[in-house]
A and B are shown apart, each in its own frame.
Chain A
Amino acid sequence: MANPSRAKGTAYEVLCRDYFQGRGWSDCQRLATRAALDLGDLTGIPRFAFECRDRQKQSLALNVDDAEERARNKRVDFGVSLMKRPRRPVGDSYVLMSLDTFTRILDELLAEQKQLQPPPP
């Protein structure tokens, strides 16, 4: 691969895929296509779109916008960006998402507890 930035990005996608597979998400695969419709970098985990980023200068705004666009393209609920943490193992990566996305995940994870909250005055 001639482009070193691209090689770095691909290597991080592979690390993320292997990490998910190692944690039991055995269907997780890299989604390498040349189609115009960008569905993110990984597939095989339902309802999520993933954008993997390993860049010298990370832009939080760009990363979260891209992740949400991938989720819209993929017609799934949650778009998140996986960001490599320099000099740390892949499991220490950051997961970036909007507060809206985070709250929707919370709603599903903790639906029962939410129903126990007293109604606002």
Chain B
Amino acid sequence: MARRITTTSELGVFLTDRGEVEVEKDGYAVVCPTHPDGKPSLWVSPKASGKVVLHCRGGCMDKDAIVAGLGLTWADLSDLVVDGGPVSTKAAATELVGEDYLAQSDAYFAEARALYVDSPADHYVRDRFKIQPDEAVGVHGLGFDPGSGLGFGWVHGRYKLHPRLVVPFRNFDGRTVGFQGRTVVYEDTTNRWIGPTNPPGYFWSTVGVWDCGGDDQYWVLTEGPSDALTAVGVGVSAVCCRGASLAQNAQTVALLIAGLSDKRVVLAGDADRGGEAFNSELGIALSEAGVQTHQLVYPSAA
């Protein structure tokens, strides 16, 4: 059977014709064909090499099923001629950002913290997580970006579309090594959480740590910062990944194993297919590394 897609521009036309699609500078977000998808969560990113990377943010791991669900074959997604449309030229990130980049993000957090009290972010955090501003700023370092990026260079254009709650990601030593920003626009339904863009060859941490202290404690492991802040709001230590699909990311798993090796962990992925995969993948990886793991069981919706 002849290939249906041979160029990157043909891929773009094909995806656009399928229905809801978000076009970014380095790929497309489309509705994932292998799970019920309320918003486009399948990332289709053509590379300059002619390969196409597929990544479901909902946690779908069966790439063969995804390709088939799109009505394609792997041949349609390999050796494409680059002739237009978004193409990723990103170098693979291999190392955590160093002090040069951290100094830039520290300056960003300082400015965001100064704008926090009585900002829309402050009201959002008080309402949703019951965390008062003195604790939010003084303990957790939360901040507010009014929608300009505050001069910080490592954020995507979409990050600067709306005012955001800025949630710094600390590592297990307490150093801030990444962050996520959440829109505080109540009408916004897409791109609620966005993180920084990676400098060439480096990556911002995909893991955030909130140590609420106490002996003999459990640590809740969540698939995003919202659930982690919910735990922190009631005084429970939490660790979050930047998203459920990172349970498959070797760098993220290594960071978690290193930090959680002497702790008792409660896996708290969402009550959906992506969350189940998150719990399962990380449960296996952490258990094999000797970490004591438990799973949060949600009450039935009925």
B is bound to A: yes
Interface on A for B, CB 8 Å cutoff? 27, 29-37, 39, 43-47, 73-76
Interchain CB contact (< 8 A) of A35 among B120, B158, B161:
B120
B162 A43 Cβ-Cβ under 8 A: yes
Chain B 116-148: CB-based contact to A (< 8 A → 1; otherwise 0)? 001110110000000000000000000000111
Closest to B186 in A: A32
A35 adjacent to B122 (CB under 8 Å): yes
Contact of A37 (CB < 8 Å), options: B120, B162, B186: B120
Q: Provided the pairs A35-B118, A43-B161 are in contact, do residues A76 and B148 lie with their beta carbons within 8 angstroms?
A: yes
Contact between chains at B123 and A33 (CB < 8 Å): yes
Q: Is the interface of B mostly helix, strand, loop or mixed?
A: loop
Given A43-B162, A44-B162, decide whether A33 and B184 contact each other with a Cβ distance below 8 A: yes
Name B's A-contacting residues (CB within 8 A).
115, 118-120, 122-123, 146-148, 150, 157-158, 160-163, 184-188
Question: Which of B119, B150, B157, B158 has the most C-beta atoms of chain A within 10 angstroms of its own C-beta?
Answer: B119
In whole angstroms, what is the CA distance A31 to B161 when docked?
Answer: 12
Cα(A13)–Cα(B218), bound, Å = 47
Complex Cα–Cα for A47 and B163 (A): 12
A37 contacts B148, C-beta separation under 8 Å: no
Q: How far is the CA of A44 from the CA of B120 in the complex (A)?
A: 15
Q: How far is the CB of B236 from chain A (nearest CB, A)?
A: 28
What residues on B are CB-neighbors of A75 within 8 Å? Answer: 146-148, 150
